[in-house]
């Protein structure tokens, strides 16, 4: 039985917001791989990237994914690059229904502009940068997921309703 729900997808597609509400509604525990990586490293993601590069971030992320994948009853919000590694996908899929959250590049731009620093895109990025990175990841996202929801223009409650309907209670 897969008792976890893993949310995957690009930065700014609403994984944290929808995951928090989904966990509350299903009585599951919400965990975020980014937060667990920061906890494990003892420093924020920006500093992990700045000091050890993306590679060092991915090593810690992989350990976190392995550990949460072995647990039950979780809603797991995964960092946007987590499922680019096939071993992470296999680990997640062993006990999690994997849900891909999508959004248009423009919606993503608007949402991440409001959020905290995204070291992968740097401080200044264009719509074209978002499109390029999103395009390069689309295939990996689609093939890792059981199903996808386009969150563009939807409020969080609606996204959660759709997830609950698809996953079942």
* Residues making contact with ligand S3P (CB under 6 A): 11, 15, 34, 45, 79-81, 118-120
Q: Which is nearer to ligand S3P, 34 or 91 (CB)?
A: 34
In the complex, least distance from residue 59 CB atom to ligand S3P, rounded to whole angstroms: 13
Burial group, residue 34, by CB count within 10 angstroms (0-12, 13-18, 19+): buried
Of 77 and 165, CB closest to ligand S3P: 77
Neighbouring residues of 131: CB distance < 8 A, sequence distance ≥ 6: 105
Shortest distance (Å) from residue 156 CB to ligand S3P: 15
Q: Assess contact for 159 and 14: CB atoms under 8 A.
A: yes
Q: Which is nearer to ligand S3P, 27 or 41 (CB)?
A: 41
> In the bound complex, what is the minimum distance in angstroms from residue 73's beta carbon to ligand S3P?
21
Q: Please name the residues in contact with 42: beta carbons below 8 A apart, sequence gap of 6 or more.
A: none
């Amino acid at each position: 039985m897969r008792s976890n729900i893993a949310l995957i997808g690009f930065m700014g597609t609403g994984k944290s917001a929808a995951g928090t509400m989904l966990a509350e509604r299903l009585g599951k525990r919400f965990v975020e791989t980014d937060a667990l990586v920061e906890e494990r490293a003892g420093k924020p993601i920006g500093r992990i990237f700045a000091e050890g590069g993306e590679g060092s971030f991915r090593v810690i992320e992989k350990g976190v994914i392995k550990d949460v994948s072995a647990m039950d009853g979780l809603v797991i919000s995964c960092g946007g690059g987590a499922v680019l590694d096939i071993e992470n996908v296999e680990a997640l899929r062993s006990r999690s229904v994997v849900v891909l959250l999508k959004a248009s590049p423009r919606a993503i731009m608007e949402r991440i502009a409001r959020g905290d620093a995204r070291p992968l895109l740097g401080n200044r990025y264009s719509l074209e940068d978002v499109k390029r990175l999103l395009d390069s990841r689309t295939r990996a996202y689609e093939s890792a997921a059981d199903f996808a929801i386009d969150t563009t223009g939807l409020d969080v409650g609606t996204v959660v309703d759709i997830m609950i309907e698809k996953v079942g209670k």
